[in-house]
Amino acid sequence: MDAVEAKTQPDERSRWSAGARLRRDLNCSLGDGAAFGGMVGFGETYFAAFVLAVGLGELTAGLVSSVPLIAGGLMQTVSPLAVRSLRSHKRWVVLCASIQALVFVPFVWAALSGRISAAGALAAAAVYWGAGLATGPAWNTWIGTLVPRAIRPRYFATRTRASQVAVFAGVLLGGLSLQWASGRNLVTVTFAVLFALAGLFRLISVILLASQSETVRPSPGAPRPAWRDVFSHLQSSRGTRLLIFLVAVQAAVQLAGPYFTPFMLEKLRLNYGQYVTLISVAFLSKVLALPLWGHYAHRVGAHRLLWIGSLGIVPLGAGWLVSQHIAWLLVLQVFGGAFWAAYELAFFLMFFESIPEEERTSVLTLYNLLNTAGWVGGSLIGGAILYWLHASYGAYLLVFTLSSVGRLSALLLLIRLRPVEVEAAEVGMRTLSVRPNSASLDAPVLPSMPDQTHERQALATDSPAGV
């Protein structure tokens, strides 16, 4: 009897220890999501506005919001090699997150001194995006080993909400602070404070990431991502057509996207309070609409939801021609946020529906690379048009109109896609950037998505042939 009790007590202590470690990991990840959101809200959201404040010009403000993203897309392809070299997903994520936190030091210095070169701003932004997006694949794999499958939907929904609240609070408080500072000749000093807060929040995020466990480590001989298999799989599925559609839409959107901030602040002469109101309303509309679209997609399907979202974002660029009154722009932002939520949810559900869970990290890397390529390509075309037309008022309206024309043309690619049955769910999201035209940069949390391919295989095994 004593031997049985002695054996039982260590087992109970072991289970208690594992449970305590799980609770600590989940709480740390929740805090990491909120801290990351604070960094986005206080920091990257205001890069373009800061560039304008120090006098670098409208085109530079647009390019600093777009071109550096390609560094992140490329860095993600290096991530698997780095993880194998370090033999740890955690070490790579913590290293990149630390570099991203340090990027705010030169931004704080530039804000305090009131000057920075265009090359310096672009370089700092490139390091920010390179380090930030490089964490994506490794973090998705790591967090998938920490969060038990049974609690993933509820947990990642909670984590997404915490991050979104932090993003919204950062954006709102940052804008209100700049509005207060604009009447007291303290704008650049306030930018320094905002960037310092952003760096502090990312540092908190780093500490919380370092506090989490790593229960599964990659072996030194772990196979490299099967890029050939990923491409082959996409070519034999609807994934390729969806990717082409994505790149076309993203290029059309970013033809105008990076230039809404200089248009609002330089051409419309909106104050910081009006500027942040437009951004906040669009972001809030998107956040609130996302779960509602999830319920709707459950009834009508993700394919129809993708059509609704794609049609809804078409007129958003040309809508700025109707009026530039703040009231009309607010209406446009509300509808824009709602339709972007529909587009993103439907796209992620349809794209990853046919991808086995073990391949999703590699596919996400490919998706982000092509997504950023479309983002940068579109912004360069838009910037070239503005440059040739001397960034006049009419040139901006032309670019906004061409953006809508491009989105409408991309629908021809959507016609070729056949409907597909997917399990509608609220996908966990990481908000990486908030933009004034509602097209914020979001990345899905892969473990939050149901492993539908495995479920279909189980159904096929349990069902009679041909059913």
d(CA 360, CA 64): 30
Q: Report residue 16's pLDDT band, with 50, 70 and 90 as the boundaries.
A: low
Instruction: Establish if 222 belongs to a structural domain.
Output: no
Share of the chain above pLDDT 70, in %: 83
Instruction: Establish if 1 belongs to a structural domain.
Output: no
Q: Report residue 453's pLDDT band, with 50, 70 and 90 as the boundaries.
A: very low
d(CA 345, CA 358): 21
d(CA 379, CA 262): 13
Top-ranked range on mean pLDDT: pick from 114-128, 212-226, 297-311: 114-128
Instruction: Establish if 247 belongs to a structural domain.
Output: yes
Q: Residue 92 has what pLDDT?
A: 95
Q: Residue 18 has what pLDDT?
A: 73
Q: Which of 171, 168, 175, 185 is nearest to 272 (CA)?
A: 175
Q: Report residue 189's pLDDT band, with 50, 70 and 90 as the boundaries.
A: very high
Residue 422, C-beta contacts closer than 8 angstroms, at least 6 positions apart? 301, 302, 349, 350, 353, 452
Q: Residue 373 has what pLDDT?
A: 87
d(CA 141, CA 361): 7
What the block records as the tokens of 137 is 């694949």
Q: Residue with structure tokens 């109707």?
A: 322
Least confident of 132-146, 213-227, 259-273: 213-227
Is pLDDT of 325 > 60? yes
Instruction: Establish if 452 belongs to a structural domain.
Output: yes
Residue 4, C-beta contacts closer than 8 angstroms, at least 6 positions apart? none
d(CA 122, CA 118): 6
The per-residue pLDDT for range 119-157, each reduced to its tens digit, is 999 999 999 999 999 998 889 889 989 999 889 989 999
Is pLDDT of 294 > 50? yes
d(CA 316, CA 331): 11
Q: Report residue 448's pLDDT band, with 50, 70 and 90 as the boundaries.
A: confident
Cβ-contact 384, 66 below 8 angstroms: no
On the CB side of 258, CA atoms within 13 Å amount to 33
What is the sign of the dihedral through the CA atoms of 97, 258, 316 and 276?
Answer: positive
Is pLDDT of 91 > 90? yes
Instruction: Establish if 306 belongs to a structural domain.
Output: yes
Q: Residue 454 has what pLDDT?
A: 42
Cβ-contact 100, 71 below 8 angstroms: no
Q: Residue 461 has what pLDDT?
A: 31
- Domain containing residue 396: CATH number: 1.20.1250.20
Q: What is the largest CA-CA distance in the chain?
A: 89
Amino acid at 167: V
Cβ-contact 43, 100 below 8 angstroms: no
Q: Report residue 231's pLDDT band, with 50, 70 and 90 as the boundaries.
A: low
Strand partners, 430: 443
Q: Residue with structure tokens 């609002």?
A: 264
Full residue range of the structural domain in which residue 138 is found:
29-214+228-462
Is pLDDT of 426 > 70? no
Q: For the chain, how many structural domains are there in total?
A: 1
d(CA 460, CA 140): 28
Higher pLDDT, 186 or 417: 186
Exposed, middle or buried by CB within 10 Å (0-12, 13-18, 19+), for 440?
buried
Stretch 7-12: mean pLDDT: 57
What the block records as the tokens of 144 is 């998938």
Stretch 2-22: mean pLDDT: 64
Is pLDDT of 215 > 90? no
What stretch of H or E contains 167?
helix 152-182
Q: Residue 459 has what pLDDT?
A: 31
d(CA 238, CA 281): 34
Instruction: Establish if 11 belongs to a structural domain.
Output: no
Q: Residue with structure tokens 């230039």?
A: 259
Q: Residue 216 has what pLDDT?
A: 81
3-state secondary structure of 192: helix
DSSP 263: I
Is pLDDT of 44 > 90? yes
Q: Residue with structure tokens 């994520």?
A: 93
d(CA 34, CA 84): 29
Is pLDDT of 97 > 70? yes
248 — phi, psi (to 5°)? -65, -45
Stretch 323-349: mean pLDDT: 93
Cβ-contact 164, 34 below 8 angstroms: no
Share of the chain above pLDDT 90, in %: 59
What the block records as the tokens of 84 is 């194998």
Instruction: Establish if 223 belongs to a structural domain.
Output: no
Q: Which of 118, 122, 58 is nearest to 385 (CA)?
A: 58
> How many CB atoms are closer than 10 A to CB 333?
25
Is pLDDT of 457 > 50? no
* CA-only gyration radius of the chain, Å: 23
| Cα–Cα distance list, 367 to 66, 79, 100 (Å) | 17, 14, 22
Instruction: Establish if 451 belongs to a structural domain.
Output: yes
Is pLDDT of 29 > 50? yes
Stretch 269-298: mean pLDDT: 92
